């Protein structure tokens, strides 16, 4: 059985200080980069990055599981 590489092992924990902050556009897939070009989506992305600077923010992040959001109201 082969050992998993760090890429195959999955993303680091969302609260890991070494990986805190929003994923930069240069590290996103082309599809994700196209999404954040939309001004409305970009404003939400930027707000989440400011609101949760100590968490790892990726396009795949779960608001409830990774960021601890239980309500937006």
In a domain, 11, yes or no: no
* pLDDT tens, residue by residue, 9-42: 455 555 555 578 999 988 999 999 999 999 999 9
Say how many domains are in the chain.
Answer: 1
φ/ψ (deg, to 5) at 27: -100, 5
In a domain, 33, yes or no: yes
Contact by Cβ (8 Å): 67, 61: yes
For residue 39, what are the domain limits?
17-55
Give the Cα separation of 15 and 67 in Å (integer): 8
Give the Cα separation of 13 and 19 in Å (integer): 8
The per-residue pLDDT for 8 is 46
In a domain, 47, yes or no: yes
Does this model's pTM top 0.85? My answer is no
Contact by Cβ (8 Å): 16, 6: no
CA angle (41 as vertex; 62, 57 as ends), nearest 5: 35
In a domain, 9, yes or no: no
In a domain, 43, yes or no: yes
């Amino acid at each position: 059985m082969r050992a998993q590489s760090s890429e195959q092992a999955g993303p680091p924990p969302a609260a890991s200080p070494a990986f805190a902050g929003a994923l930069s556009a240069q590290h996103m897939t082309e599809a994700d980069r196209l999404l954040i070009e939309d001004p409305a989506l970009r404003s939400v992305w930027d707000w989440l990055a400011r609101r949760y600077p100590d968490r790892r923010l990726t396009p795949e992040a779960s608001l409830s599981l990774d960021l601890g959001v239980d309500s937006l109201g």
